[in-house]
Structure 1
Amino acid sequence: MQLNLKNPIVFFDLETTGISIATDRIVEISILKVNPDGSRETRDHRVNPGMHIPAQASAIHGIYDKDVKDCPPFKDIARSLAAFMEKCDIGGFNSNKFDIPLLMEEFIRAGVEFEVKKCKFVDVQTIFHKMEKRTLEAAYKFYCNKNLDNAHSAQADTLATYEVLLAQLERYPELQNDIDFLSTFSSHNKSADLAGRIVFNEKNEEVFNFGKYKGRKVSEVFDTDHGYYGWMMNGDFSQDTKRVITAIKLRKLTGK
């Protein structure tokens, strides 16, 4: 089977120093670009995160400080990666909640603009969980009848994710071989920010998706709890989330 594509799509996977979108860093990235004609291109990079890789992270992906000490920092490869991914839709495994927001944080820190809002996102894990509810290794065995060797290697996980999506399309006739459909199907909420802290309600209004104000309109909370905006701006939230809440606050102030 070949994906029915209007635009190229990039499947990617990250290995990182941890699971915080705001504070952790990339140590390895693998990207598989699939073009509308079915041809493929790949990019694989080890990255010096500029911080110690905790032992618990190394125990998962097998990458230690010594392995990346001579590798380039992300900012040195950011522009070429953005150019490689330009005008592409994006696919991954748990990518909507983790990989995409963290990658965008790295682009922001590197001062590289990437118009991610124009991309369609296809999260293969969400499709899997809606259909079968298991892990990538189990998905690979279930759909492809193969064992996933070198799990938690970015390259192996990236290729496995692409193969699982193709197998899902073969298995489920209700899934359409169309990126717009797959993007909608693999999304849980319509998010205003990449981390999903702010989502749109049924009236297309931004509301909080966490904490004591979950479900409340962001603009209304900022009107009644004057310290909440400052708390978020000084807190452990991603730069993208901070940009979104700042835009909401400025819109309220200017009336635009």
Structure 2
Amino acid sequence: MSWHTGPMTGFDLESTGVDPETDRIVTACVVTCGLAPGTDSRTWLADPDVDIPAESTAVHGITTEKVRTEGRPAAEVVAELVQALAEAVEVGQPIVIMNAAFDLTMLDREARRHGVKPLTDVVGDRLNVIDPRVLDKHVDQYRRGGRTLTDLCAHYRVRLDDAHSADADALAACRVAWRIARGYTEIGTAALATLHLAQVRWAREQAEGLRDYFARTPGKESWAAGVRTDWPLIPFEAVGADA
């Protein structure tokens, strides 16, 4: 059975900002697709114990007031997220994450911040990630236009309601991954562990290409230094204990 014809678990976060090293989880969703008769979805609202900037609220619609009154303690949410993903890994399901290096790095740093055992320490090398962004760039390298989840949904004819809500984005990422697997034999027939390792290489090559582009583009040279090649998450040791 090909990996995309069985259950897969989607994961998505919305956060206080765009730096996975220092920003915090606000909302999260873990959704399992490919089940009969439908999907199994769990969502969380966390109180990050910091104010949510207005520009982040403008993206996902969650205010500081809302998390203060309705959110659960961040440590509890992070522990439950790690457990939910670990359970999916234990039964052999791929974890589908759009731009995985952001979400998994943020979850890792939040776990360390709150004294929760990080996901990679729990499951080790059994973690197999499917990243629609990496897959799409590999199979259709020269296509013009954006590569956001909204862009990919439009290109692969996947319905996306309420973009930038964790539950909608997690489900849409799974559907995009399924479309890519159906459309490209090398993706759909690959063994899951083999495909994970291939994405490590593809993501590195894609990041190196972006870094080279920045380095040779007037006005963008300084951006090159900020491009990371790590996937599916930035190792904690790479940024140091003070990050």
TM-score (norm 2): 0.70
CA distance in 1, matches of 2:20, 2:148: 21
Higher relative contact order, chain-length normalized (CA < 8 Å, sep 6+): 2
User: Residue 163 of structure 2 is aligned with which of 142, 148, 151?
Assistant: 151
| 1:114 match | 118
CA distance in 2, matches of 1:32, 1:149: 15
State the Cα RMSD in Å. 3.4
Aligned residues: 202
Task: Summarize the alignment of residues 142-181 of structure 1 with structure 2, pairs less than 5 Å apart.
Answer: 142-144=155-157, 146=159, 148-177=160-189, 178-181=191-194
Task: Summarize the alignment of residues 1-256 of structure 1 with structure 2, pairs less than 5 Å apart.
Answer: 3-4=4-5, 9-34=8-33, 40-70=39-69, 71-87=71-87, 88=89, 89-95=94-100, 97-116=101-120, 117-118=124-125, 119-132=127-140, 134-144=147-157, 146=159, 148-177=160-189, 178-188=191-201, 241-242=236-237
Distance verdict in 2 for CA 1:138–1:17, change over 3 Å: same
Query: For 1:193-237, what per-residue CA distance to the aligned partner results, in whole angstroms no more than 9, with x for missing partners?
Result: xxxxxxxxxxxxxxxxx95xx99xxxxxxxxxxxxxxxxxxxxxx
Local SS of the residue matching 1:86: helix
Identity %: 26
Local SS of the residue matching 2:43: strand
Local SS of the residue matching 1:82: helix
Once the 2 structures are TM-superposed, how far is the Cα of residue 85 of structure 1 from its aligned partner? 1.6
Once the 2 structures are TM-superposed, how far is the Cα of residue 122 of structure 1 from its aligned partner? 1.6
Distance verdict in 2 for CA 1:113–1:9, change over 3 Å: farther
Query: Could you list the runs of 4 or more consecutive aligned residues of structure 1 that deviate by over 3 angstroms after TM superposition?
Result: 34-40, 188-191, 242-246
Amino acid at match of 1:137: T
Query: For 1:142-161, what per-residue CA distance to the aligned partner results, in whole angstroms no more than 9, with x for missing partners?
Result: 21254x22111111111100
Local SS of the residue matching 1:22: coil
8 Å contact kept, 1:90–1:122 = yes
Query: For 1:9-30, what per-residue CA distance to the aligned partner results, in whole angstroms no more than 9, with x for missing partners?
Result: 4311110011112210011001
Amino acid at match of 2:167: Q
CA distance in 2, matches of 1:38, 1:9: 14
Once the 2 structures are TM-superposed, how far is the Cα of residue 168 of structure 1 from its aligned partner? 0.7
The gaps in structure 1 that reach 5 residues or longer are: 192-209, 216-237, 247-256
- Which of 1 and 2 has greater Rg? 1
CA distance in 1, matches of 2:198, 2:35: 21
